[in-house]
Structure 1
Amino acid sequence: MNEQVKQVVVVGGGTAGWLTAANLAQKFNSVESGAIQVTLVESPDIPTIGVGEGTWPTMRKTLAKLGISEADFLSKCNASFKQATKFVNWQQAPKNGINSHYYHLFTSINDPLDFNLAPYWKLGMIGDNNSYAETISMQAAICESGLAPKLITNREFEGVQNYAYHLDAGLFTDLLREHATTKLGVKHVSANVTDVNLDDDGYIINIHCDSVGVVLGEFFVDCTGFKSLLIGKALGIPFKSIDDTLLCDHALAIQVPYENEESSIASCTISTAQEAGWTWDIGLSNRRGTGYVYSSAHTSHERAEQVLRNYIGPQADQLESRLIKMNVGYREKFWHKNCFAIGLSAAFVEPLEASAIFLIEASANMLSELFPRDRHAMLAVEEKVNKSFKFRWDKTIDFIKMHYFLSKRTEPFWQDNKVLSTVPDTLLASLDSWKHQLITGYDFDNVYEPFPLDSYQYVLYGMGFDQTLTFNENSYTKQGFAQQQYNTVQDLTQKMQQQLPENRELLNKIAQYGFQKI
């Protein structure tokens, strides 16, 4: 039973399923006869959860690789440009009704691994009391002004600033389905899985579906969401809960229409800290996607809904909400035998920092690059994948927990997040070393780090992390160059504020004229 893999079966649709199927079919060149074939089995009865609508800049490369036009993607998915996450009131609760905020940006003047402006800013050697983000990048000002990251004259997937997207997850699934089946050779089966059949060695040999019967394959991808029909139910891989670390366990979502067709579209995801969690606010081209991620141990569902509706304002009274129970954690193995779990079937960490779709992309990329030709080859790939994604998820959990742990808010929810027993030892060790030591590349020695050095600096300095660098102050001898870099940022900020269009203005132009072709 060591035949070559000729058929890959992806079970489950949604973003995870269709992004994986499209990625594999593109890699295999499945439109050609004799190539590895990809079949996606999708239930006609299960809607896409589609809560997280934010992406990372990696999505641009993914779309380009799959051959999807950026203009088509933007129009068909009601998508818009995302340049950052704006964290409102995370450091502390509003004082006298005044909110505070900081930015986690996608663009800085230079890579801090090459030259780090942070110590010069922290020691007061440069700047005019600007925030860290404003010191190293013009993107914070661009986001505050609601401007786009590019011009209509830029080519597809290229911009003046680094950027990602906000998108409608349901429409994105539709686009991927159409593209994968018509352009990439993916076979689509609309059916419900009724049985998963194993051989004597515990490998999946086929699945049985209600309307089409048996679907054969040599390799299977589990994208069945929280149900985890393959990796969980059929193969018995346990789920490791992390609800003792990340305390939020529910989300409420409400879609909010714009007041009119000319309403401004935010250039960033807006994450606002609340009494028992945080709200998200994502501007698409046709509506806002809002929601409240919270801990049911610290508030009632009724109170949570009131908090969200208060955030939205009077128009929320006429809008329907959707309650989602979150199973926060990950599988003890992501790959077992001839099955790889991707998406919610593998893991779920609350949607802060929009890591979910990025890790779907990362999973699909690693699978396509290391795809095993037969069962013997699967053993080595299984070990690599499980090691890699255990690391990635643990680092993602550390990074998200850091946002809560550094907060100075006093509500019970926020205080419980500071209890040391809820904080991973790895995070505590890093924060302890960074109290008197600049973050360096030696803190990120793994190629699979999901968040780079500058991401940590945005959060640490935005949250007011208590870092003292005076003991080594004399080693920062490039103040002149640092001041030059700072001045460049300020000059570019003024220039780009005059040249860049507003988000909606650019999206309207793209819909009318399209982009220059690559």
Structure 2
Amino acid sequence: MKKILIVGGGSSGWMTAIYLNRYFNQNRSNFEITVLESDDIGILGVGEATVHSIRFFFAAMGLDERELIEETNATYKTGIMFKNWMKPENGQTHEYFHPFEPNDQTDRFDVSTHWMLGERFQSERYDEGVCASSHLIKSHLSPKSKNSRPYSGLVPYGYHIDAVLMARFLRRKATEAGVLHIVDTVTKVKTEKGSVTAVFTDSKMLEADIFIDCTGFKGLLIDQLQAENWESFEDVLPCNRAVAIQVGYTEQTDIKPYTLATALDYGWAWEIDLANRRGTGYVYDGSLLSKEDAERELRAHIGEASKGCTAKHLEMKIGCRKQFWIGNCIAVGLSGGFIEPLESTGLHIINIGAKLLSTHLSSSDLNNNVRLSYNKAMSGVYQDLKQFIVLHYCLTDRDDNAFWRKAQASVNGCPSLGEKLGVWRSKICEYLDLAGGYTTTFTDENYRYVLYGMGHFPSLSLDVDVAELERTRDAHDKKVAEICHQAVPHKDLISEYRK
């Protein structure tokens, strides 16, 4: 039986361990899987938010959703509210909502075309006219009804989750399922002929056939195998620093079922509501703003609630490996790369990496073609996500300082995106415009929420029946009313889990 050694715990280590163990060892043992982690290295846990596809990971692992939520202080997330990403209009702060919800279907034109032709952009936001999630959050409603089954709801949803507690939860579930666990600190990595042969700790030497590097930005294993193996994205995504502050709740606090991303002077601030506290932070360009000034700006943004709360400063490497799999070593999670947490893609990328790894490890012949396939796929995932995050910045009309002027020009680092934006001035964004990409989490529907939320509308010249437009609108309003009627208040649902 072959051995897999995962070096590093946290979200990446334990998600990878539990997935590979479920895939390879559920009915018959094919691999001995061990996680080696140090008890003195903290988990980064910057964003604590997920995309909706993480539900399918948890469900596939056979995890009980209620138990997961209770043990990780989780809440539900139906999307992200973006504020202040454009200049104020008529004295009002700009905002739009990016939900996980797919667009409504219509008889002839798609719902985006209906919304444009009906000139509804003059009286409502795009998200308000095409999905129910926007209306749920206005009434502080959860994505669930009383009768919703585990991992399903009235609309798609993700979670706000405590990253430290999630890693502990997954560790318990993985070890109960047979994953071996060693607590020790790596002191040396031995390599030979382009592969890792052993890892030394304070007390022992560990050998394996496959080594998985989950050591975060340090890349303790993968960096031993190849120099100059990093592609930086900081030319177009310069936010490489963060300061985080956790604040408490009062009895009057309403626990939001969505993430809040507010643009500040040199980046943006997140607000993520867990069941027991609110996680806040400021992701910013470290070349333009000092740590001290960033903390002051974040505290001013939070207000009185930040008094007496400790700030945690973080440095981030924005980009990805040129090669994720070298020899017998594969980098997963932060060791492989990081896209700033604007769309909460951290756990999503770990999920993709673990799934791809399971299929690529299924043969006894792990030749160079297998490694090339994995590297190509993972590189494509990061490049696709890079483009989507740049979209959020390059559409801004803010020009109040060097950061936002640079943000407008970030599209120049994504030529294919620039071409698409030109096309999308004359037609709606549709599936085939993005087909052939490596990540299916953000499709044409997600692009539309950002494009139209940021005012990048196409100029359409179509003659349409007014009655048809009214029928579409009436059907949408009816659907929204039905969903809102069935939905359980978010705070009530979270309170029930904590009884």
**If the length of structure 2 is used for normalisation, what is the TM-score?**
0.94
Deviation sequence 1:311-367 (CA, Å, 0-9, x none):
211121211101111111111111111111111111011100011111111111111
Aligned with residue 333 of structure 1, among 317, 323, 339: 323
Partner of 2:126: 132
Partner of 2:16: 20
Does 1:398 pair with 2:387? Answer: yes
Structure 2 CA distance, aligned partners of 1:119 and 1:357?
A: 33
| Equivalent pair of 2:200/2:206 in contact (CA under 8 Å) | yes
Which residue identity does 2:372 align to in structure 1?
E
Q: Which moved more, 1:13-22 or 1:52-61?
A: 52-61
Q: CA distance change for structure 1 residues 369 and 511 in 2, over 3 Å: closer, same or farther?
A: farther
Which residue identity does 1:205 align to in structure 2?
T
Q: CA distance change for structure 1 residues 309 and 465 in 2, over 3 Å: closer, same or farther?
A: same
* Residue pairs, 1:488-499, within 5 angstroms: 488-499=475-486
Aligned with residue 63 of structure 2, among 68, 71, 96: 68
| Equivalent pair of 2:394/2:411 in contact (CA under 8 Å) | no
Shift of 1:435: 1.3
Structure 2 CA distance, aligned partners of 1:487 and 1:466?
A: 23
Determine helix, strand or coil for the equivalent of 1:495.
Answer: helix
Shift of 1:392: 1.2
Structure 2 CA distance, aligned partners of 1:294 and 1:83?
A: 25
Structure 2 CA distance, aligned partners of 1:277 and 1:370?
A: 38
Partner of 1:228: 219
Shift of 1:466: 4.3
Aligned with residue 189 of structure 2, among 196, 203, 219: 196
Deviation sequence 1:352-395 (CA, Å, 0-9, x none):
00111111111111111232433x33422211111111111111
Structure 1 CA distance, aligned partners of 2:35 and 2:352?
A: 19
Structure 2 CA distance, aligned partners of 1:156 and 1:304?
A: 40
Structure 2 CA distance, aligned partners of 1:505 and 1:203?
A: 53
| Equivalent pair of 1:203/1:337 in contact (CA under 8 Å) | yes
Shift of 1:421: 7.6
Does 1:104 pair with 2:98? Answer: yes
Partner of 1:250: 241
Partner of 1:411: 400
Does 1:507 pair with 2:477? Answer: no
Partner of 1:458: 449
Structure 2 CA distance, aligned partners of 1:115 and 1:461?
A: 17
Structure 2 CA distance, aligned partners of 1:235 and 1:103?
A: 42
Determine helix, strand or coil for the equivalent of 1:249.
Answer: strand
Shift of 1:114: 9.6
Q: Which moved more, 1:308-317 or 1:233-242?
A: 233-242
* Residue pairs, 1:7-46, within 5 angstroms: 7-29=3-25, 32=28, 34-46=29-41
Q: CA distance change for structure 1 residues 113 and 225 in 2, over 3 Å: closer, same or farther?
A: farther
Which residue identity does 2:277 align to in structure 1?
R
| Equivalent pair of 1:136/1:489 in contact (CA under 8 Å) | yes
Structure 1 CA distance, aligned partners of 2:269 and 2:206?
A: 42
Which residue identity does 1:448 align to in structure 2?
Y
Deviation sequence 1:50-83 (CA, Å, 0-9, x none):
1121111111111111111100010100000000
Shift of 1:508: 2.2
Partner of 2:458: 467
Aligned with residue 270 of structure 2, among 280, 302, 312: 280
Determine helix, strand or coil for the equivalent of 2:146.
Answer: coil
| Equivalent pair of 1:30/1:38 in contact (CA under 8 Å) | no
Shift of 1:281: 0.3
Shift of 1:113: 13
Q: How many residues align?
A: 497
Determine helix, strand or coil for the equivalent of 1:297.
Answer: coil
* Residue pairs, 1:12-411, within 5 angstroms: 12-29=8-25, 32=28, 34-93=29-88, 96=91, 98-110=92-104, 116-124=110-118, 129-182=123-176, 184-199=177-192, 201-211=193-203, 213-236=204-227, 238-260=229-251, 263-374=253-364, 376-411=365-400
Q: Specify which structure has the bigger relative contact order, considering alpha-carbon pairs within 8 angstroms and separated by 6 or more residues.
A: 1
Q: CA distance change for structure 1 residues 237 and 7 in 2, over 3 Å: closer, same or farther?
A: farther
Structure 1 CA distance, aligned partners of 2:393 and 2:237?
A: 9
Structure 1 CA distance, aligned partners of 2:86 and 2:16?
A: 37
Cα RMSD for the two superposed structures: 2.2
Determine helix, strand or coil for the equivalent of 2:224.
Answer: helix
Q: CA distance change for structure 1 residues 378 and 55 in 2, over 3 Å: closer, same or farther?
A: farther
Structure 1 CA distance, aligned partners of 2:85 and 2:121?
A: 24
Which residue identity does 2:123 align to in structure 1?
N
Shift of 1:101: 0.8
Q: CA distance change for structure 1 residues 63 and 421 in 2, over 3 Å: closer, same or farther?
A: closer
**If the length of structure 1 is used for normalisation, what is the TM-score?**
0.91
Structure 2 CA distance, aligned partners of 1:479 and 1:510?
A: 47
Q: CA distance change for structure 1 residues 95 and 299 in 2, over 3 Å: closer, same or farther?
A: farther
Shift of 1:133: 0.6
